[in-house]
Amino acid sequence: FISKKLAKWCEKKQIEQKFIQPGKPMQNGFNERLNRTYREDVLNAYFFDSLEQLRILSDKWLDTYNSKHPHRSMKGLTPNQKRLLLTEDAMKKEELIANNL
């Protein structure tokens, strides 16, 4: 499944899309693991009366996942902590380049 809207958005932002082979989820392990965690923690854990309830729980889950869930692949950091480090590193590199260091 490839969304035409997503494809247009990526093209506009000059983002190259890459796709896995059909029936080869092991080529996309990180996303498959995230999908499994979300399914276990949210979709399979609750009954929903509305999409709004699902959205609210999903937002709470995502906030917790990004701010309180350390990842081995990030050396025990949460995604928010890792993003902050990467942002700081990028800013330092830009400063060095701007100052010709």
Which tens digit of pLDDT belongs to each residue from 76-98? 999 999 999 888 887 887 777 77
The answer to whether residue 43 scores a pLDDT higher than 70 is yes
The answer to whether residue 1 scores a pLDDT higher than 80 is no
Residue 76 neighbours by CB under 8 Å, 6+ apart? 70
Q: Is-above-0.85 flag for pTM? A: no
CB 80 within 8 A of CB 67: yes
The two tokens of residue 49 are 């009366």
Cα–Cα distance measured from residue 64 to residue 66, given in angstroms and rounded to the nearest whole number? 5
The answer to whether residue 101 scores a pLDDT higher than 70 is no
pLDDT of residue 88: 84
